[in-house]
Structure 1
Amino acid sequence: MPIPGNPLGYTLVYAIESPRGPVLVDAGWNHPDAWLALRDGLGSAGMDVRDVRGVVVTHFHPDHAGLAGQVREESGAWIAMHEADAALVGLMNELQDREHRSFHADMLKRAGADAVEVEEVTAHRPRPPAPPDRELRDGDLVDLPGRELRVIWTPGHTPGHVCLHLRDADRLFTGDHVLPGITPHVGVYPYDRVDVDPLGDFLLSLEKVAELGALETLPAHEWTFPGSAERAMEIHAHHEEKLLSLAALLAEEREPLTIWEIAGRMTWNRPWADLSPQMRGMAAGEAAAHLRTLEVRGVISRTAGSDPVRFALRPESLSP
């Protein structure tokens, strides 16, 4: 299903058959073109969108949860997502645009972004997804008559991201957790939080998926592929290398750096100067996640009382 104006291009939405109607894994972006693609795609498989029994959302992001509300309106289907993401969706729907903008502007200032960058990054707010009817937990079985679809909680990309193991067909729906050619965004929001470690959670979640063995993998982007375990550990190794590179970057600096300065010095898929304002905001979130994991591991520390917050390598980390 298309994601207009987004470099990802499309979301893969899956329909799992059951005697009481199909259950969708994700629902795609909230856009008329995506809705037509969903309706026609189901039709080509001999299904009707009005017969959809439920939508399991792997996580709350708009390219996955965006159309879930319209599917519910059309068919009366239930929407299910993990309780951690459900809580975020509730908060997003409560926040007014002004409050949301203020929250993000304050976060960016504390990270070291200047006034122009703050204005550019906070200019657009996606529409919040529809609240779910059902909340999922790790190990739950999805309401899919005649089949066994088990929830595998894989936090990291979002706090409530889930993979879904269709055990009767030996398939694993991975959402954004394990993708064949790219890696999902893992960020900290607000950037300077000290009570969470999303990248640490993500690395543990990759190990959890690897322990399931080599399953046929059905991701939300790119293409399906065999060997979920091998790819999960490739992504794990990628982030460990990125953590080493970040520590080396900080070792070369004489003074502590802000999150925004660090993000600007890190390597991305294109130069920092060429990133859009929204992509810079996401890059800063990912930089913050890697900084937080290094902090949890005792490799770096934040400068006490600094505003904006600054990070430096711990002196003992320089020892051979």
Structure 2
Amino acid sequence: MLNYPFPEKPAAGDVIEVAEGVLWLRMPLPMALDHINLYLIEDHDGWWVVDTGMDVGATRDLWQQIFDKHLRGKPVKAVVATHWHPDHVGLAGWLCDVWRAPCYMTQGEYLTGLVYTRAAKEHFGWSNEQHQVRSGRGQAGIDSARSSMGGVGRITHAMPTSYRRLEEGTRLTIKGRRWRVVVGSGHSPEHACLFCESLNVLLSGDQVIPRITSNISVSGLEPEGNPLKAWLTSLERFLEVLPDDALVLPAHNTPFTGLHHRLRYLIEHHEDHLIALEQACMTQPKSAVELLPVLFQRELNEQHIGLAVGECVAHLNYLYQRGQLERTVDAEGCYRYRSIDDTLPMRLRKHRHRAESADPIRV
């Protein structure tokens, strides 16, 4: 089970100290997931900001309240962006300019962020169109994806013009404590988490979240990508290199303990989806859009369907590249998937037995 040691959440413009010298704050998001958790780490001569919020609404004003009330007369000396998504990097350029502070990111995240924040509708090319058709969305998907091209740039301040590279094992010394970079992948290309052994604290970004599952998605930028393979590999490695009793400070929901429990739940969650997709493709070939009800038992609106299709394609690419699904192209140019692994009936029996006999891993 997971434990949540902080029943109260920080109010807008305020902070809660969750470990010595580590402050938790929140910024609003204009979507169903209505918040992001951000963190400040105190150094001798300033503060390290971990993630930034989007460049929308009152976020800059709320940051100014944080500066005025909680920095104890010390400047922001560094900005760390765990990954390129706009709720994490949206104000990195602004914060770095205001404080003349360096930005720390992995190379994969920094370069991907530059691509997405500078994209415009005219960059939507034939390969993007083909990806929508291949997924089964057709012209409606093409129109929706084209209209959203450039949306990231509208909620992200211009990216910092330089960065300091984080890599697996990079160590940052902050107020005499060592924070080790642990890199995950799948949700984004090269997601940086920070672990402090002396505090037993993990800043997990979107790599580990307690109550929701991070989106693992294939887009038209890399239509044959296999992010789910990278995601599952990352989760398995985190089980090996990070302690179960760490205090996890995620980007969404609330801080928690029970890291290994959550990692095992996430692995099983995706394994359940994979076998369900194989089963759904046993009788006749199906498209990604036709398979959405296998993964999502709720009605999807236009805001969510693009991410949902991307997640479904991520699972299908994983199975196809493992040789468990056959993929053909129909007359409309849409990919159709059929199960071809003759071990599937045996695996389904084992899966049902495990589901019936084992206690579920609960969040």
For the criterion TM > 0.5, the same-fold answer is yes
Q: 1:281 to 1:166 in 2, by over 3 A?
A: same
**Deviation, structure 1 residue 266:** 2.4
Give the strand-richer structure, 1 or 2: 2
Q: 1:192 to 1:34 in 2, by over 3 A?
A: closer
- Alignment of 1:107 onto 2:131: yes
Q: 1:102 to 1:3 in 2, by over 3 A?
A: farther
- Alignment of 1:81 onto 2:111: no
Q: 1:318 to 1:146 in 2, by over 3 A?
A: closer
Deviating above 6 A after TM superposition, structure 1's stretches of 4 or more consecutive aligned residues are none
**Aligned residue identity for 1:296:** Q
User: In 2, Cα distance between the equivalents of 1:269 and 1:64?
Assistant: 29
Partner residue in 1 for 2:20? none
User: In 1, Cα distance between the equivalents of 2:254 and 2:127?
Assistant: 36
Partner residue in 1 for 2:189? 159
Cα deviation code 1:292-315 (max 9, x no counterpart): 121233211212687222211115
Answer yes or no: is the 8 Å Cα contact 1:154–1:161 preserved in 2: yes
Partner residue in 1 for 2:319? 294
Partner residue in 2 for 1:27? 52
Partner residue in 2 for 1:316? 342
**Aligned residue identity for 1:82:** T
Answer yes or no: is the 8 Å Cα contact 2:121–2:147 preserved in 1: no
Provide the secondary structure at the position in 2 that maps to 1:80. Answer: strand
- Alignment of 1:6 onto 2:31: yes
Could you tell me which of 196, 215, 218 is aligned with 2:249? 218
Could you tell me which of 279, 285, 289 is aligned with 2:310? 285
Kindly report the root-mean-square deviation, in angstroms, between the aligned alpha carbons of the 2 structures: 2.4
Q: What is the identity percentage for the equivalent residue pairs of Structure 1 and Structure 2?
A: 28
Cα deviation code 1:148-177 (max 9, x no counterpart): 111101001001112110222110011011
User: In 2, Cα distance between the equivalents of 1:98 and 1:142?
Assistant: 40
Answer yes or no: is the 8 Å Cα contact 2:121–2:146 preserved in 1: no
Q: 1:213 to 1:135 in 2, by over 3 A?
A: same
User: In 2, Cα distance between the equivalents of 1:93 and 1:10?
Assistant: 21
Provide the secondary structure at the position in 2 that maps to 1:258. Answer: coil
User: In 1, Cα distance between the equivalents of 2:116 and 2:68?
Assistant: 33
Could you tell me which of 174, 191, 203 is aligned with 1:173? 203
Partner residue in 1 for 2:169? 139
Could you tell me which of 198, 222, 230 is aligned with 1:201? 230
Answer yes or no: is the 8 Å Cα contact 2:273–2:295 preserved in 1: no
Of 153-162 and 32-41, deviating more is 32-41
Provide the secondary structure at the position in 2 that maps to 1:224. Answer: coil
TM-score, normalised relative to structure 2: 0.79
Of 145-154 and 298-307, deviating more is 298-307
Partner residue in 2 for 1:45? 70
Unmatched runs of 5 consecutive residues or more in structure 2:
1-25, 347-363
Answer yes or no: is the 8 Å Cα contact 1:29–1:62 preserved in 2: yes
TM-score, normalised relative to structure 1: 0.89
Bigger CA radius of gyration: 2
User: In 1, Cα distance between the equivalents of 2:256 and 2:167?
Assistant: 26
Could you tell me which of 209, 215, 230 is aligned with 2:261? 230
Cα deviation code 1:245-265 (max 9, x no counterpart): 1111111x32x22222223x3
Partner residue in 1 for 2:291? 262
Provide the secondary structure at the position in 1 that maps to 2:49. Answer: strand
Cα deviation code 1:40-98 (max 9, x no counterpart): 234443446x8111111111001111011110111011111111112212323554431
Answer yes or no: is the 8 Å Cα contact 2:172–2:179 preserved in 1: yes
- Alignment of 1:92 onto 2:116: yes
**Aligned residue identity for 1:148:** R
Of 99-108 and 109-118, deviating more is 99-108
Could you tell me which of 271, 275, 278 is aligned with 1:247? 278
Of 284-293 and 139-148, deviating more is 139-148
Unmatched runs of 5 consecutive residues or more in structure 1:
none
Answer yes or no: is the 8 Å Cα contact 2:81–2:103 preserved in 1: yes
Of 31-40 and 164-173, deviating more is 31-40
Aligned counterparts, 1:46-65, within 5 A: 46-47=71-72, 51-65=75-89
Could you tell me which of 175, 187, 198 is aligned with 2:217? 187
Q: How many residues align?
A: 312
